[in-house]
Amino acid sequence: MARVEIAVETCKGCELCVVACPRKCLGKSRAANGKGYYPAAVAEPDKCTGCAMCALVCPDVAISVWR
């Protein structure tokens, strides 16, 4: 099973990862980070296959994928 970690304080909430996820595992957090951005969040962790598309498109390098 794969695991996605998002560095909440680094993420600016651009949602590129949300669009790139083929399994629609990611969404937007309801809580703002310390900078006032609403970062990405893992909405459906059981659907994740570990493809790492989210990490590849992240301009802030805020996503790590563990398989």
Q: What is the CA radius of gyration of the chain?
A: 11
What average pLDDT does range 16-31 have in this prediction?
A: 98
Q: What is the Cα–Cα distance from 67 to 59, expressed in whole angstroms?
A: 21
What average pLDDT does range 41-46 have in this prediction?
A: 97
**Taking the mean position of all CA atoms in its chain, how far away is CA 1?**
16
Give the total residue count for the chain.
67
Under the banding of pLDDT at 50, 70 and 90, the label for residue 57 is very high
Tokens at 40, concatenated = 């990405």
What SS3 class is residue 64? Answer: strand
Average pLDDT for the chain: 97
Under the banding of pLDDT at 50, 70 and 90, the label for residue 1 is confident
Tokens at 25, concatenated = 């595992």
Q: Check residue 27 and give its pLDDT.
A: 98
